[in-house]
Amino acid sequence: MLLQVKDLVAKLREEEKIILKGVNLEIGRGEVHAIMGPNGSGKSTLANVIMGNPKYEVVSGDILFEGESILDLRTDERAQKGIMMTFQNPYEIEGVKLDQLLLIAYRKLHGEDKTFFQLDKEMKGLLNEVGLPTEFLERFVNLGFSGGERKKGEILQARFLKPKLLILDEIDSGLDVDALRIVAEQINKLRAEGTSLLIITHYARILNYIDVDKVHVYVDGKVALTGDKSLAYEVEKTGYAIVNGTADANS
């Protein structure tokens, strides 16, 4: 098993209110899982807690990666182990150019296994694949990028860095149909290259373009239902009330 989330309870460090209320989730090597859940149910919190964002605190439960607990590891140590997340709202990083970010992160993860020339060629190839001009490499990360360009930039970073586990936090939100297709194609390539994926989404729409092994319906801080792709379409039709009792619990 690549990732095991066990009875995970977590909250914001500064606050009392529990956001994750006992999340259980297992992702095997090479598997693609989708998590669907309503706004405010704690999906981004789950992604952040797996990544080790210090704003959040684990109250109980565990997160294992490749069989070992990662709770005591810092975010950069988790990244070094091969975990990566993309942001629902990608940050602007003024002063850091996209190619600097990519090259430094790549060397940190994979060392000197490729020459600068090879990496430069790969970056340009990926920009071309997602339909961004090569000049984007010289721009500060996300600064002045449109919503779609940011999401393309996020998925491009993942392709380049080749994580073992990639968590996508609403990569599909706000994308027009052409951009969605491009991002989905990149997800399929990541999967083909062996990356495991956790796709957090509101909509079944993106699942039209990719194969998923499992779909989890996530409501009020925990995984309430697990099924195959058909479950995603059912949720889209019925709403999250499909989960017994949660229509009340959520109002």
One-letter amino acid identity for 101?
A: L
Counting residues that bind ligand ADP (by CB under 6 A) gives: 11
Please choose, out of 36-44, 78-86, 114-122, 123-131, the segment that lies near ligand ADP by the rule CB under 6 A. Answer: 36-44
Q: Which is it for strands 222-227 and 56-65: parallel, antiparallel or unpaired?
A: unpaired
Structure tokens at 248: 């009340």
Residue 44 lies near ligand ADP (rule: CB under 6 A)? yes
Q: Distance (Å, rounded) from C-alpha 186 to C-alpha 221?
A: 29
Structure tokens at 43: 């999906």
Helix H, strand E, coil C: the string for 40-81 is CCCHHHHHHHHHCCCCEEEEEEEEEECCEECCCCCHHHHHHC
Which residue's CB is nearer to Mg ion, number 88 or number 186? Answer: 88
Query: Contact with Mg ion (CB under 5 A): which of 8, 10, 19, 44?
Result: 44
Please choose, out of 34-42, 144-152, 191-199, 230-238, the segment that lies near ligand ADP by the rule CB under 6 A. Answer: 34-42
Please choose, out of 21-29, 43-51, 122-130, 242-250, the segment that lies near Mg ion by the rule CB under 5 A. Answer: 43-51
Residue 45 lies near ligand ADP (rule: CB under 6 A)? yes
**CB environment 30-62: b (16+ within 10 A), e (fewer):** ebbbbbbbbeebbbbbbbbbbbbeeebeeeebe
Handedness of CA 166, 172, 175, 179 (dihedral sign): positive
Least separation, in Å, of the C-beta of 45 and Mg ion?
8
Binding partner of 152, given ligand ADP, Mg ion, none, CB within 5-8 angstroms per partner class: none
Residue 55 lies near ligand ADP (rule: CB under 6 A)? yes
Residue 39 lies near Mg ion (rule: CB under 5 A)? yes
Least separation, in Å, of the C-beta of 236 and ligand ADP?
17
Structure tokens at 200: 């957090």
Least separation, in Å, of the C-beta of 137 and ligand ADP?
30
- Crossing angle of the two packed helices 116-130 and 177-192, in degrees rounded to 10: 140
Which residue's CB is nearer to ligand ADP, number 37 or number 90? Answer: 37
Residue 42 lies near ligand ADP (rule: CB under 6 A)? yes
- CB atoms under 10 Å from CB of 68, counted, come to 10
Least separation, in Å, of the C-beta of 44 and Mg ion?
3
Residues 6+ apart with CB under 8 A from 204: 36, 232, 233, 235, 236
Structure tokens at 226: 């697990």
11 to 30: interface string for ligand ADP, x by CB under 6 A: -x------x-----------
Binding partner of 55, given ligand ADP, Mg ion, none, CB within 5-8 angstroms per partner class: ligand ADP
- Which parts of this chain interact with ligand ADP (CB under 6 A)? 12, 19, 37, 39-45, 55
- Which parts of this chain interact with Mg ion (CB under 5 A)? 39, 43-44, 88
